[in-house]
Structure 1
Amino acid sequence: MSGKMGKYFLAIVPDEAICDEVTILKEQLRDSFGLKYALRSPPHITLKMPFVHNEKKEGELIKALEAYINNIKSFPLIIRGVGSFGSRVAFLKLRYPPELKVFQHGLVDFFKRRLKKNLELSDTNYYPHLTVAFKDFKKGQFEDVMAFVKDAKVKQSLQVHQVSLLKKVDGRWLRIADFQLTN
């Protein structure tokens, strides 16, 4: 018996103050433009795109990730500026050290070798960002949304001390485990 497959992803979830500021921006986008899809997950910077995993082996997944991530050093990030992927995704840009790309590439290799997960295009084309709106734009509103996000002028700095595993539960992404980085 194979067990039920769950959907997971790995991300940096900023501290509460930054999450609150970004969530308020997402709520303003919902109220002003009807954009609500981005509210289905906490503000985050994706490290490993959604993947499926046997829920019966969730504990093993968490232990394996913890063992790997506990050896990664903490690093700084700066949230400043806005960007987009075509006219489908609006995001906050990051300034980040090379350590983030090294960490993400290491995770891709770890997922492929240790967890036997397929390599995704997003794994090889990694562009760290913090999404504020995607998927539910109405025709002709993208430029107005981008101007709104630019006007919000979100500027934050953070030291990344942990990474979170999120799981899709009833259509929403919930944090189910946090992994500490070393100082």
Structure 2
Amino acid sequence: MRNHDSNHQVNLYFIALIPHQELREQIKAFKEEIKERFNATHALRSPAHITLQMPFKRSKKDEPYLINTLKEFTAHQKMFMVNLSGFDCFLPKVIFVKIIDHKPIISIHTQLQKVLTEKMAFKETIISQNFHPHMTIASGDLSVEAFREAWVEFEKREFEASFLTKSLFLLKHNGKFWEIYREFLFKK
């Protein structure tokens, strides 16, 4: 007989900054357009976000500790503005909304990595090394051809937005897509 103890269940999480609902909808519209016109749906599996910690697995019993760790961490963070302008890409096939000032995001990312390494025993292999803040609208499942077509358009397209980052989010995979699981507010 197999033991179905729910504490041994492993969950998949990632940590991100997420804009307010209105901006989330605007970004989702770009993802929908890419789905309709270029047949790529991968980016629709998560809300608009800036990844601070790429997906990682943790057993269910570690979750309260992970939540507490993030609570303690965000209690000392200050709110900051994120300004978006236009689009950029990572070759061969990722298109994203460009973030103007990387400094505050890189700063929170660096601090978070330190906390995850020290308190959660994260290994170097799951800590994002080459960190380049961005907000993906098309990723992995775009064909090289479709990428070329889409990029010709998005490269010239204008888009300006900004949002106040007031919190950090823990997302959890439900087997089909990523759900916002917990929000951790920064200090006022």
Query: Residue 83 of structure 2 is aligned with which of 78, 84, 91?
Result: 78
Aligned 1:23-172 pairs, distance under 5 A: 23-96=28-101, 98-120=103-125, 123-150=128-155, 152-172=157-177
8 Å CA contact retained: 1:81, 1:92: yes
Distance in 2 (CA, whole Å) between partners of 1:149 and 1:121 is 31
Query: Residue 25 of structure 2 is aligned with which of 20, 24, 27?
Result: 20
Letter in 1 for 2:169: S
Deviation readout 1:78-137 (Å, 9 max, x if unpaired): 111211111221111101252221110011111111000112376221100000001112
What is the TM-score of this pair, normalised by structure 1? 0.93
The 1:122/1:149 distance shift into structure 2, 3 A limit, reads: farther
Shift of 1:4: 1.5
Distance in 2 (CA, whole Å) between partners of 1:29 and 1:166 is 23
Distance in 1 (CA, whole Å) between partners of 2:102 and 2:81 is 7
Larger CA deviation: 109-118 vs 122-131:
122-131
What is the TM-score of this pair, normalised by structure 2? 0.91
Report sequence identity in percent: 25
Shift of 1:148: 3.1
The 1:82/1:121 distance shift into structure 2, 3 A limit, reads: farther
The 1:107/1:21 distance shift into structure 2, 3 A limit, reads: same
RMSD: 1.6
Distance in 2 (CA, whole Å) between partners of 1:114 and 1:16 is 32
Please state whether the residue corresponding to 2:78 is helix, strand or coil: coil
Unmatched tracts of structure 2, length 5 or more: none
Deviation readout 1:136-178 (Å, 9 max, x if unpaired): 1224221211133345422101110011000111220001100
> Which 4+ runs in 1 deviate beyond 6 A?
none
Please state whether the residue corresponding to 2:104 is helix, strand or coil: helix
8 Å CA contact retained: 2:93, 2:144: no
8 Å CA contact retained: 1:108, 1:119: no
Distance in 2 (CA, whole Å) between partners of 1:21 and 1:160 is 17
8 Å CA contact retained: 1:75, 1:97: no
Please state whether the residue corresponding to 2:22 is helix, strand or coil: helix
